[in-house]
Structure 1
C-alpha cells in the first residue's frame, strides 16, 4: 500500500473520531458543562453545520493551492481546532470549537479523494479512494469506542487529546509521505461554481442526501432498536456497535472494488437496492437476537460500500471542478444525516415501534434508485446533444 494513501487514511481516522465520538460523550460533557443532554446535543449539530459551510468554502479558497499544501493546511486546522476543545472553558467556546473543527472535514475528503484517484494505479481509482475512507471506518471500529471509554471513565477532554495527537500524526505523515503534485491550471471561482449549473450535479447530491440518507434512519435509532426490539441490555450496545464498525471496514473495501469493476452509476444502483432489502429485513427480523447481530454487521457494510462509488461518480461527472464537487458530496452526506434522523423519527412521534424508522429508510433508498435512473437518462440525453 502506498504511504501517501496511508497518510490520507490517518486524516480519515482523525475526522471519524472527531465526528462520531461526541454521541457517546454527551452525558459526560453535559454534566461537566452544566447543560442538559439535548443542549449538549447541539454540539453534534455544530459540527455538521461546520461541514456544510466548510466543504465548498475552503475548496474554493484553496482552489489554486498545490494539493499537498492544501491537505497540510486542512490537517493542521483539524488538529488545532480539536485541541481547542481540550481547553474550552465554557459551553460556548466548546460549541465554537466543534463548528470550527467541522470546517475542514468535507474539504479534506474532497481534495483527498481527487488526490487518491491521481495517485492510484490505472483502473484502481475507487479502491484508492476507499483506502482514504478506511480511516473513517477504523474510527467507528476502534477509535470511537476507545475515545468514548477514555472520556467516560477518565475525562472527556482526554479524548480530544487523543484526537489532536492523531491529527498531528496526520500532518507529519502528509508532510513526509505525500508527493508534490502540481496544482491544476489557475481556476476562477466562477469556473468552479459552473459545475453546479449542471443538472447532473444536483442529481448526485440528491441521490446522496435522499438515497443514502436512508441509512441514517437506521443508525440514528440503532440504540433503542437494539434494546427495545432486539432486547439486548444497554451495556451490550457499545460492543454491538463495534460489530457495525467491522461491517463498515469490510463494506468500504468491497464498494471500492465494485466501483472499479463496474460503472460507478450501476454500482450505486445495486447498493441502494441491497440497502432497501436489508432495511426491510431489519424491520422484520430484529426481534431475533442472532439475526439482529448479523444485520448490524451487514447494514454497516452496506452503509460504507456506498462511499467510494458515489464519490467516484461525482469526480467522473465534474471534470474541471473535481475537488469542489467531491467536497459537496460530504455536505450531502451530512444533509442525509439530518434528513434520515428527522424523517425516521416521524413514525416514532406517531407512536410506532423503534423498528419503524427502517421502513422510512426503505422508501428513501428506493427514491435514490429512481434518481440514479434519472441521472443515467439525463447523461445519455446530454451525450446525444453533444454528438448531434
Structure 2
C-alpha cells in the first residue's frame, strides 16, 4: 500500500525543510548575529554531527516502540524547533533547538522506511523507499526555496515559520492516517549489530560517507557560492533552489526505477556528478544561462544521493534493514558535517569559488569504495571454490 509511503514522504518533507532550509539563509543569519559564514555553517554541521554520533543508538532504542508514536514524537520535536527559531533567539539557543530534533531524525527516517516497505513486497521495495525519499526532492523544489524566497522578501525568521507550518501538516497527516503500529517481534540488538562485522557493509558505509561529504562541501554553501562566485542575489538564489529541486523530483523517480534494476551502476551513475558538476561550474564562469543549466544537472545528480546511499548500504545487509538505514543516515550526516567543515575551511582560507574542487576529491574516494566493494563481493563468491573437500 503506497499510502504509508506517501505519509512517510510528507514527514520527510518536514524533516528536510528543517534540516536544509538553513542553507538558503546562512548569509542572512551570519549578518544578523554578526558572525562569519563558516560559524553560521555550524547550524547545519552540528545538526548533522549529532545525527552521526547518536543515530544508530537512538534507532536501536526506539525499535521496540509503536512506530506511529515514534513518527509523531519526532515530527513534534521538529515543530518545536521551527517555532522557537522563528523568534530569532540568542545564537546559543538557536543552536540548541537546531540540535534537539537531530536526535530523532534518523529514527524517523528508519521508521518511515520500515512502515512503507512493510506494506509492499520485495519486488517494489526500492520503489516504495524512493517514494519516502521523494520527500527530500519535493522539499528542495517547494518548501526549501519557498522558505528562502520568503526570507529574501521579509526576514530570515520567516523561513523558520514556513518550517513550522510544514511540520504541523505532517504531524496531522501521521496522526489521522496511520493506524497504531506496535512492534510484535523486536529483533535482538546482537543480531542487528552483527552487520558491523561484514566487510562489504563497512566499505558501503565508507562510500556513503565520502559521497555525502563530496556533495555537501559545496552544497552547504549553495547560497554563498552563487552570491560570490556567480554574482546572484538572494532572490535569484531562491529561483536556483527551485530549479535544483524540480529536477531533483524527476531524479528521485528515475533513481527508484534504476535501483530496482542495478544498484551499483545506479549509484555510480549519480556519483559521477561529483566529478562532472565541479568541472562544469568552473567552465561556465560568469555565464548565467550556462550556470543555470549546470545547476539543473547538479540537482539531477545530487538529489537521489541519500536514497542511493541507503539502498547501497541496505543491499549489503538486508537482514537488518532499519539498523542499516540508521547507519546510512548517521554516516551520511557525518559526511554532511565533514563536507560542511572542510568547505567552510576552504572558504576562509582560499575563497568560496574553490569549494567544488573538494567535491572532486571526496567523489574520487567514493568511487574507490565502490570498486573495493565489487572486489570483496567477487572474492566472497570465489571463496567456496578455494575450500578443499
- Correspondent of 2:359 among 358, 361, 364: 361
Deviations along 1:25-73, one digit per CA (max 9) or x if unpaired, are 44555666x5535554433333223322442132111122243333233
Q: Structure 1 residues 135 and 362 mapped into 2: Cα distance closer, same or farther (>3 Å)? A: same
Alignment partners' CA distance in 1, 2:351 and 2:85:
38
Q: TM-score, normalised by structure 1?
A: 0.86
Deviations along 1:71-99, one digit per CA (max 9) or x if unpaired, are 23322332334334356753333222111
Aligned to 1:298: 297
What do you get for the CA RMSD once the two structures are aligned?
3.0
Cα contact 2:24–2:237 (8 A) shared by 1:
no
Q: Secondary structure at the residue paired with 1:317?
A: coil
Cα contact 1:55–1:324 (8 A) shared by 2:
no
Once the two structures are TM-superposed, the CA of residue 382 in structure 1 deviates from its matched residue by: 3.3
Alignment partners' CA distance in 2, 1:205 and 1:73:
28
Alignment partners' CA distance in 2, 1:223 and 1:84:
24
Q: Structure 1 residues 344 and 131 mapped into 2: Cα distance closer, same or farther (>3 Å)? A: same
Once the two structures are TM-superposed, the CA of residue 143 in structure 1 deviates from its matched residue by: 0.8
Alignment partners' CA distance in 2, 1:379 and 1:67:
34
Q: Structure 1 residues 220 and 86 mapped into 2: Cα distance closer, same or farther (>3 Å)? A: closer
Q: TM-score, normalised by structure 2?
A: 0.86
1:110 paired to 2:110: yes
Aligned to 1:313: 312
Cα contact 1:314–1:322 (8 A) shared by 2:
no
What count of residue pairs does the alignment treat as equivalent? 385
Alignment partners' CA distance in 1, 2:150 and 2:359:
33
Once the two structures are TM-superposed, the CA of residue 304 in structure 1 deviates from its matched residue by: 1.5
Cα contact 1:283–1:359 (8 A) shared by 2:
no
1:175 paired to 2:175: yes
1:337 paired to 2:336: yes
Aligned to 2:49: 49
Q: Secondary structure at the residue paired with 2:299?
A: helix
Alignment partners' CA distance in 1, 2:352 and 2:99:
34
Task: Give ranges in structure 2 of 5+ residues lacking alignment.
Answer: none
Aligned to 1:14: 14
Aligned to 2:205: 205
Cα contact 2:264–2:370 (8 A) shared by 1:
yes
Aligned to 2:64: 64
Cα contact 2:24–2:223 (8 A) shared by 1:
no
Moved more, 240-249 or 305-314: 305-314
Cα contact 1:68–1:174 (8 A) shared by 2:
yes
Once the two structures are TM-superposed, the CA of residue 151 in structure 1 deviates from its matched residue by: 4.2
